[in-house]
């Protein structure tokens, strides 16, 4: 569901309303419920913005733990710039 524009992406449309994991170029990982997008940003609610420099765990282990035990939100809403995204997937698709 594109927010405030005519921009539509069929892949993103299938993920709206679902918990997702977003890998970006920086040492951050984003987890949350995808609530919408436009041509510049994807929007997450009940989001966990995790700086991997603050922990000794790997990106993959952090994501798997979030899949097993649930997302630990630290933001009500967050916008992630589409140009920074390396990968985006449903959290349910992460292998336990």
For the chain, what are the domain ranges?
10-93
Domain 10-93: which topology?
SH3 type barrels. (2.30.30)
pLDDT in tens for each of the 96 residues of the chain?
555 566 788 889 999 999 999 999 999 999 999 999 999 999 999 999 999 999 899 999 999 999 999 999 999 999 999 999 999 999 999 998
Q: Is residue 89 classed exposed, middle or buried when 0-12, 13-18 and 19+ CB atoms within 10 A define those classes?
A: middle
Q: What are the residues facing 75 on neighbouring strands?
A: 47
The widest CA-to-CA distance across the chain, in whole angstroms, is 42
pLDDT at 7: 75
In sign, the C-alpha dihedral spanning 35, 14, 71, 56 is negative
Predicted TM-score (pTM) of the model is: 0.90
Per-residue confidence (pLDDT) for residue 32, from 0 to 100: 98
pLDDT value of residue 1: 52
């Amino acid at each position: 569901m594109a927010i405030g524009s005519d921009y539509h992406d069929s892949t993103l449309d299938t993920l709206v309303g679902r918990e997702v994991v977003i890998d970006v170029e920086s040492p951050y990982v984003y987890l949350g419920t995808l609530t919408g997008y436009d041509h510049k940003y994807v929007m997450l609610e009940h989001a966990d913005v995790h700086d991997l420099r603050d922990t000794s765990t790997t990106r993959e282990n952090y994501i798997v733990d979030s899949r097993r035990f649930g997302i630990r939100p630290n933001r009500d809403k967050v916008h992630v710039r589409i140009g920074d995204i390396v990968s985006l997937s449903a959290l349910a698709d992460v292998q336990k």
